[in-house]
Structure 1
C-alpha cells in the first residue's frame, strides 16, 4: 500500500517524441510545494493494472515507481522528464502511452546529489558563496543517452552560468537522431537571458555531440571513454581536463560510468568526502 501523504497527482501538459517508440519527453504540472535543486531526480509513479485487466484504472493508487531526473530548471512552473522506452519494461512503455490530460504521480521529496553545490565549500553559516571571477573552475558534463536529463536542469539554472568559467557538455549516443535537445542547447547562445554571458565569452558553453555508430561532421564516432583515454576529448573541446581546473559530472549507462570513473580517477579526479568538496560527481540511480 502506497502512503498517499508521500505523493501528489499531476497532469501531463505536453508530450514530445524524439525517436518514435524509443525516446520521448513529458511535461507535467508541478505542485507548488515541490522544491528541488538542479540535477536532482524525482520518483514518478503509475498505477498497476489489476490481475486479469489489460490496463490500470487512472484513479488507482500508484504502485509502480521509477526515478527520473528533472529536465526542467528549479525555477520553472512545470516539471519535465526525458525517458527511453524499454520494450519489455513494466514502467516506461506505459509512461510513453500517456497523453495530454492524463495523470501521473510525483513523490513530494526530490532525491540525488548530482548538484553543483557539492563542488564548493559551504561558508560557516551554511550558505554556498559563488566562486569569484578568475577563480571559477570549468564544468564538464559528460552524459550518454538519457543521462543528459540532469544536465539540462543544471543548464537551465542561472546559478550554473555564474559559478563556472566555461561549461562543456558532451552527449554520447549511438545514432544522431538520439541527440535529443540538441537544437535547444545549440540555440542557448542566442537567448536574451544568456546574451551578456556569451558576449563576454563566446566559448562560455561548449557542446559536443557524439554518435558512436554514425560519424557527425568534425566528430569521431567513438565512445566517450575512448576519447577521454586518448586525449581527443580535450582536443575537441579546446579545454584541458585538468583536476586542478575542472569539475566533472558523469551520468549515463553503467558501463560508461564505471570506465569513465576509473579513467578520471587515474587523472586525479575524485568525489568529495567528509565535507571536503571533490572534483567528480557521479549519479548512480540508473
Structure 2
C-alpha cells in the first residue's frame, strides 16, 4: 500500500464513483465503480484503486470480478480490522469518489495457456475474484473441456459467488459451449457440511496432496491435459507450486511452456 499527493496521483488515475456495495459478511464485500473511459483489462488482472484519506491518496490492488466488456468495474474485498484502506472502503456510500488507475496489472490470465483441456482454478478467500471475471469470457468455455473452481474458506458464510457460477453454467449450456464447470467448496472450520457432491472438509493443499480433489471431480491431473491457476494465501500458493512440481508440472514462462500460474493475494 502507498500514499501519495492527490495532484500527483491524478496524473495516472481517474476519479470514478462508487455505484453499489454488496456485503457477503461483515468482513467480505463486493463493490462496483464507474469505469474510466478507454479502460482495458484482461480477465484475471487486477486494478489499483485509491481513496483519499487525510488529504493523501492511499492505494491498494484488487482483482476485477466483472467481465471485460462491462461498462462498470466490480471488485471483491476483505475488510481488514484496523486497516487504513479497507476501513475507509467499508464506510463508503454510493456516489463517493474512488480513484482507478488507468492501467491494469497482472499476468494470471487464461489466455496465457496455449494448450490443455482442463483448467483448474484454486482460490482461498477473496483470491476467488479473478475466476469470476475469467468465467464470464466465452472463449474460456470454448477452449477447455473441463473447468474446475476450488474455493477454500474457513466457514460456509465466507463462500461467495456460488449463484453467479450457476448462472454462468446455465448460460454456457444455453449457448452450446462445450466446457463443463464444477465448483468445489472446501472448508476448514465448519463441521456441518452438506452431504452432497462438491462439498469437502480440509485445506486445498491437503485435499490436493491426498488426491481428493481429483476424486471429487473424476478428473486426474496430468501434465498433458491439466492447467492450473492458484490465487490466495501465499502459504497455499507456495505449497500448490511444490505439489504440482512433484507431479512434473512447471510454471508458465514468457518463452512458452508450463502448466500453472499463481498469484499471492496479499
Q: With structure 2 as the length reference, what TM-score do the two structures score?
A: 0.91
RMSD over aligned Cα atoms:
1.6
Any residues of structure 2 matched to 1:237-276 within 5 Å, and which?
237-276=217-256
Any residues of structure 2 matched to 1:1-150 within 5 Å, and which?
1=5, 2-20=8-26, 22-50=27-55, 63-120=57-114, 136-150=116-130
Which whole-Å deviations, capped at 9, do the CAs of 1:8-65 have from their partners, x for residues lacking one? Answer: 0111111100002x00010111012110000000100011215xxxxxxxxxxx5201
Q: Displacement of 1:4 after TM fit?
A: 1.6
Q: Matches of 2:158 and 2:227 in 1, distance apart?
A: 26
Aligned equivalent of 1:59 = none
Provide structure 1 residue ranges, at least 5 long, that are not aligned to the other structure: 51-61, 121-130
Aligned equivalent of 1:177 = 157
Q: With structure 1 as the length reference, what TM-score do the two structures score?
A: 0.85
Which whole-Å deviations, capped at 9, do the CAs of 1:127-175 have from their partners, x for residues lacking one? Answer: xxxx6xxxx5110000000000011110111121111111001101001
Larger Rg: 1
Moved over 2 A (4+): 186-191
| Equivalent pairs, count | 256
Any residues of structure 2 matched to 1:193-204 within 5 Å, and which?
194-197=173-176, 204=180
Q: Matches of 2:30 and 2:216 in 1, distance apart?
A: 29
Q: Matches of 1:94 and 1:278 in 2, distance apart?
A: 40
SS in 2 for 1:220: strand
2:257 matches 1:280: no
Q: Tell me: CA distance 1:27–1:3, structure 2 relative to 1, closer, same or farther (3 Å).
A: closer
SS in 2 for 1:250: strand
Q: Displacement of 1:285 after TM fit?
A: 5.3
SS in 2 for 1:251: strand
Q: Matches of 2:131 and 2:231 in 1, distance apart?
A: 9
Q: Matches of 1:97 and 1:206 in 2, distance apart?
A: 35
Provide structure 2 residue ranges, at least 5 long, that are not aligned to the other structure: none
Q: Displacement of 1:255 after TM fit?
A: 1.2
